Amino acid sequence: MTNLTVVGYEIINKVGEGAMSEVFSARNNGADEIVAIKVLRQYFKDNQSYISRLKQEGQTLSLVSDDRIVRFIDITKTSDGRMSMVFEFVDGKNLEQLLQSNCTSLNPLVASCIISEVLLGLEEAHRHGIIHRDLKPENIMLTAMGRIKITDFGVAKNLESQEMTVTGIIVGSPAYMSPEQARGEMVDARSDLYSLGILLYKISTGNLPFIGNNYQAMVSAIMQGTFTSPEKIRPDIHPELVRIIKKALSKDINGRYQKAYQFRYDLMKFLDHIAAPSVTKVLERFFANQLDPALYDSENVMRTIIERANEAFQANDKISSIKLIQQAINLAPGNQEAKVLLAKFSNKTRIHLYIWAGIFLAILLGAGATITFETPKQVLATKPFVIPIPIPTPTIVDKHKPPLLTLAKKAEVVQEKAKEQKEEKSKEKITVPTRVVFKVPLEVKVYFDGVQVMNPEHGVENVSPGKHEITLIKPGLVPIISNIDIIEGQTTTINAM
């Protein structure tokens, strides 16, 4: 218990502390609700800089509403006049506590699920122009129900505000800073995504990518941008997850993920590739200590893929079946179950294969699509399964064609008309249509402002400039929703491959 009193609240006990403030659990006397109260430390009571920072956090959180971001409730004061903020109470542990209780690192599957959830909350913050600037294990909470909560927006920056944006002022935790943040430069959403790359590296391997004995050494390591590849520390980490981490940690700001949804989309593709359960199930099992440690093992992944392929085969779902078989063969070229299933698939579909594959591929290739499977970058040791395409019937030339002289005269007339039309068009004002095109896997459905785009590759034309909502839906995964700014007279490409 504590002697601290806050008007309207009954303090229960102290649950955390930082350099600037202490956090207490309390009961809201009016609503009989358990809340968390962040109280400014006594020696900062009259410090206007810290008071402003606490107010800034409240103002920032009042702008966003997302289940993955801690909910702001009220600003109040203690009986001795200290500034205090009231938040929802999160019953759980932060990532730092989880790391300490799990021998410094987590199952890469769990790590990927945690970061994918953080990215969902972060996307909402970024949509409101809010950059967190201090993403680290202590500021990510995992509730008893397996839900993620992003906390501590005390040094967050609103891109539309002039507060806390002075170039040269370095804020945040050094170990998780982006190069531009460490230099004290202006930052945007990409800085947060870099910090999440460091966080993913840390919770997957147990090590930080950049280390130093002091602040200057740490910043120097970040600036240099070289780090030990994750699989050198943890050999069982999947090559695709290694690729994702390396992209997130690109020193070149244009070489890393530009948007939160892009980062998350790659993680969800990876989770789908290893046949993982839903993110919610993984996190619930993990927090309840019921997660099978072998869930990430290659043998378990292969078993799950084979089971899904068999289910698709029995349901006569040819596309899903062959895709899963191909995935299994890529993971383990010598796997006998995959080979047997491929033989069964070939025998069952041999009669109808030419017709089905010919029509299917003709449509895709006619639209200029590229057919790929979501597989890791491994060289196939087996002969690829090739679907034959019917040979088109040759065109029959008319034997009764007109004389060459007649054709020549007709060609002259056509050329003259074409020249006239070209001259007329050159006199007209050239207008460039505003367009949005999409590069997405075949199974992904695209919605533009709530309306499905039937031909994503062709896209949407004559789009009005300004903000528009993009929704990507892949079967079995949580939809990705993002807002984009469209510039008049330009073609915007949404690449989610």
Dump pLDDT digits (tens) for 8-60.
888 999 988 877 788 999 998 877 789 999 888 887 788 787 788 778 778 77
Q: Answer for the pair 113, 283: CB distance below 8 angstroms, yes or no.
A: yes
Q: Is 450 exposed, middle or buried (0-12, 13-18, 19+ CB in 10 A)?
A: exposed
Q: With beta carbons less than 8 A apart as the criterion, state whether 435 and 457 touch.
A: no
Could you tell me if 224 and 246 lie in one domain?
Answer: yes
- Contact between 128 and 156 (Cβ < 8 Å): no
Look up the CATH number of the domain holding residue 28: 3.30.200.20
pLDDT at 258 over 90: yes
Using the 8-state DSSP alphabet, how is residue 462 labeled? S
Give CA separation, 135 vs 112, 118, 172, 195, in Å: 16, 10, 8, 6
The count of C-alpha atoms lying within 13 angstroms of the C-alpha of 94, restricted to the half-sphere facing its C-beta, is: 16
Spell out the residues 6+ positions from residue 149 whose beta carbon is closer than 8 angstroms to its own.
68, 69, 70, 90, 92, 121, 140, 141, 142, 143
pLDDT: is 65 or 418 the higher one? 65
Give 89-108 pLDDT, tens digit per residue. Answer: 988 888 888 888 766 788 88
What type of residue sits at position 118? Answer: V
Residue located via tokens 């002289």: 405
Mean per-residue pLDDT over the chain, rounded: 76
Task: Give the model's pLDDT for residue 298.
Answer: 55
Same domain, 349 and 443: no
Rg (CA), the chain: 29
Q: Is 62 helix (H, G, I), strand (E, B) or coil?
A: coil
User: Residue 246: inside a domain, yes or no?
Assistant: yes
- Considering the domain architecture, whether residues 51 and 68 belong to the same structural domain is answered as yes
The answer, yes or no, to whether residue 111 has pLDDT greater than 50, is: yes
Confidence band (pLDDT; 50, 70, 90) for 372? very low
| pLDDT, average across residues 150-172 | 51
Q: What does the DSSP assignment read for 253-275?
A: TTTS-SSHHHHHHHHHHHHHHTT
Domain that holds residue 29: 9-88
Same domain, residue pair 265 and 319: no
Q: Are 355 and 362 in contact (CB under 8 A)?
A: no
- 62-66, 238-242, 282-286, 367-371: range with highest mean pLDDT: 238-242
pLDDT of 168 above 70: no
Give the model confidence (pLDDT) of 226-247 as tens digits.
999 999 998 888 899 999 999 9
Amino acid 199: pLDDT: 96
User: What are residue 295's phi and psi, to 5 degrees?
Assistant: -60, -30
pLDDT at 355: 44
Residues 131 and 243 both lie in one domain: yes
Last residue of a domain, one of 318, 334, 366: 366
Q: Model confidence over 431-482: pLDDT tens digits?
A: 456 888 888 887 788 888 877 787 788 788 888 888 888 888 876 565 677 8
Rounded to 5 degrees, what are φ and ψ at 447? -125, 130
Predicted pLDDT at 201: 97
Tens digits of residue pLDDT in 118-160: 999 999 899 888 888 889 999 999 887 889 999 887 655 554 4
Domain-embedded: residue 374 = no
Residues 24 and 135 in one domain: no
Q: Is residue 446 part of a domain?
A: yes
How, if at all, do strands 130-131 and 157-158 pair?
A: antiparallel
pLDDT digits (tens, 9 = 90+) for 261-274: 999 999 999 988 87
Q: Which residue has tokens 């992904």?
A: 444
Q: Give residues with Cβ within 8 angstroms of 320, minimum separation 6.
A: 308, 309, 312
pTM (global) more than 0.85: no
Position 377 scores a pLDDT of 38
Position 268 in a domain: yes
Enter the DSSP assignment of 69: B
- Tell whether 141 and 79 lie within a shared domain: no
Is 221 within the bounds of a domain? yes
Quote the pLDDT of residue 480: 78
At residue 395, the pLDDT reads 46
Please count the CA atoms within 13 angstroms of the CA of 39 that sit on its side-chain side.
28
pLDDT in tens, 481-491: 788 888 888 88
Let me know if residue 382 belongs to a domain: no
Q: pLDDT digits over 411-439, tens only?
A: 565 566 666 666 665 554 444 568 888 88
The dihedral through the CA atoms of 107, 109, 112, 117 has a sign that is: negative
Identify which of 67-76, 344-353, 440-449, 452-461 has the greatest average pLDDT: 67-76
Q: Do 322 and 279 lie in a common domain? A: no
At which of 88, 117, 132 does a domain end? 88
Task: Kindly list the strands in the beta sheet with 140-143, ordered across the sheet, starting from the edge strand earlier in the chain.
Answer: 92-94, 140-143, 148-150
The predicted pLDDT at position 393 comes to: 47
Q: Name 190's Cβ contacts closer than 8 Å, sequence gap at least 6.
A: 178, 253, 256, 257, 258
For 402-410, what is the mean pLDDT? 51
Q: Which region among 179-193, 204-218, 281-295, 347-361 has the lowest average model confidence (pLDDT)?
A: 347-361
Q: What is the pLDDT of residue 312?
A: 78
Residue 2: DSSP 8-state: -
Domain boundary among 327, 350, 366: 366
Total domains in the fold of the chain = 4
In a domain, 44, yes or no: yes
Share of the chain above pLDDT 90, in %: 22
Active-site residue identified among 80, 91, 134, 449: 134
| Residues 242 and 128 both lie in one domain | yes
Does one domain contain both 43 and 106?
Answer: no
Flag whether pLDDT at 292 surpasses 70. Answer: no
Query: Is residue 414 in some structural domain?
Result: no
Q: Is 134 a catalytic residue?
A: yes
Shared-domain flag, residues 279 and 316? no
Q: Are residues 329 and 196 in the same domain?
A: no
